[in-house]
Amino acid sequence: MPSYIGLIHKDANSDFGVSFPDFPGAISAGRTLDDARAMAEEALALHVEGLIEDGAEIPEPSTLEDVMSNPDNRTGVAILVSVKTEQPKAVRVNVTLPEDVLEQIDRYAEAHGFTRSGLLAQAAKKLMAGAA
């Protein structure tokens, strides 16, 4: 699969956020630039996989010129993000959580540029890596 343009944004007192002009709603974040890039690759792969599973069409990558011609995109730094096809298949699961914990997860995820699933996956990976 091709590479897509991601836009890195950083607000004061926040992590680095990454958005994808070709995939509105697909966002990611990381505490460092390297983390943001790695998370962007994972987020893009999961988003594309979801589109494929839903039978949606995958857009052709926009050119850098087209992306940067939009004034809203000029505050971001453009990077190329490859769609990694070697990603493990995403599996939908049903998880039961206390309502207050779920609300806290959702608030944190939104404030830091994660999806609920992305945040839970990253938290689980960090917890397991620390236990190894």
Nearest to 7 by CA among 106, 122, 100, 113: 113
32, 25, 122, 36: which is closest to 79 by C-alpha?
36
8 Å CB contact between 5 and 21? yes
| 6-20, 97-111, 118-132: the lowest-pLDDT one | 118-132
Kindly report, residue by residue over 39-54, the tens digit of the pLDDT: 999 899 888 888 887 8
Q: What is the rounded CA–CA span in Å between residue 53 and residue 50?
A: 5
pLDDT score recorded for residue 62: 94
CATH no., domain 3-131: 3.30.160.250
Entry field: residues in the chain: 132
pTM of this structure:
0.62
* Measured distance CA(132)–CA(130) in Å, rounded: 6
Q: Where are the domains of the chain?
A: 3-131
Scan for tokens 């897509």, then name that residue: 4
